[in-house]
A and B are shown apart, each in its own frame.
Chain A
Amino acid sequence: MSESELTLSIETHKRVSVLTAAGRIDSTNANQLDNALKQLLEDGNANIVVELSGIEYMSSAGLRAIVAALREAKKKRGDVRIATPSERVSEVFSLAGLSALFVTYDDLTAAVGSF
């Protein structure tokens, strides 16, 4: 009976920031992801890659955080792009009808280089 395990790390490059998430994203901890993305945006980082290879499970709570970040990034003429989602996470994006909304890369270097 505790928060699900989620670790977040941020790496900032010249033109893009990479937020790497690992573990599970659900209602207990989606606010951590939401806050991390909001902080990046508030700090002026509008080009963001969300690296999801270590995410084994994500509910709609995680999607809401990522879509909220996309909304803010677009306002700042930036973008949020997805790197290396697992099959399960890709299925969640697809189920939500969000696959077309996010540019997704199978390779982190390609995602970073896309900005």
Chain B
Amino acid sequence: MGEKHILTVRGRYTNIRDICDFIVDGAQTSGLDEGALFHVELACDEACTNIIEHAYEGEDLGDIEVSWRVAKDQFIITFRDHGRSFDPTNVPPPAMSDLSVEAEPETLKVGGLGIHFMRTLMDDIQYTFDRQGNTLTMIKQMGDA
């Protein structure tokens, strides 16, 4: 198992870029290509936004610990927070029918898009909750942009 790299920041929107940079630097060092780096950055951005908005329900209410490591052919990212239980893997995908060109303007919705991005851009997402809080693990297969 590869070395684990950890960063802890306060749960603020303005810290999301630092988390994304930390992860993307790790992914680049680990050999992910440009397309995969963009996918990892976007998935991390959405994961952090969800932690602030749904687990902490606001800014500056707790820390986000993020780590990355490489195991076998997988780039593994783990997020930990101490907010309320929020399982992104249990959120239904956006109702794409509501986004059709025929839809009435009032019905255009984009809720759940961030989670949809995480699911689509990463190869696997796992979630656990315990007394310490939420743990979200996102896996990107190496050599598979």
- A binding-site residues for B, Cβ under 8 Å: 1-4, 26-28, 57, 59-61, 63-64, 67, 70-72, 74-75, 88, 91-92, 95-98, 100-101
Contact = CB atoms under 8 A, between A and B. Distances in A.
A73 to B, nearest CB: 8
A1 B64 CA distance: 14
B94 interface: yes
A43 B41 CA distance: 36
A26 B113 CA distance: 13
Nearest to A72: B105
A26 B108 contact: no
Interface string B60-78: 0000000000000000000
Interface of B: 12-18, 38, 41-42, 45-46, 48-49, 52, 94, 96, 99-101, 105-106, 108, 110, 113-114, 116-117, 120-121
Contacts of B105: 70-72, 74-75
Contacts of B41: 57
A60 B14 contact: no
18 contacts: A1-B14, A1-B18, A3-B14, A26-B13, A27-B49, A28-B13, A28-B16, A59-B45, A59-B49, A60-B46, A60-B113, A60-B117, A61-B49, A67-B99, A71-B108, A72-B105, A95-B121, A97-B96
B14 to A, nearest CB: 5
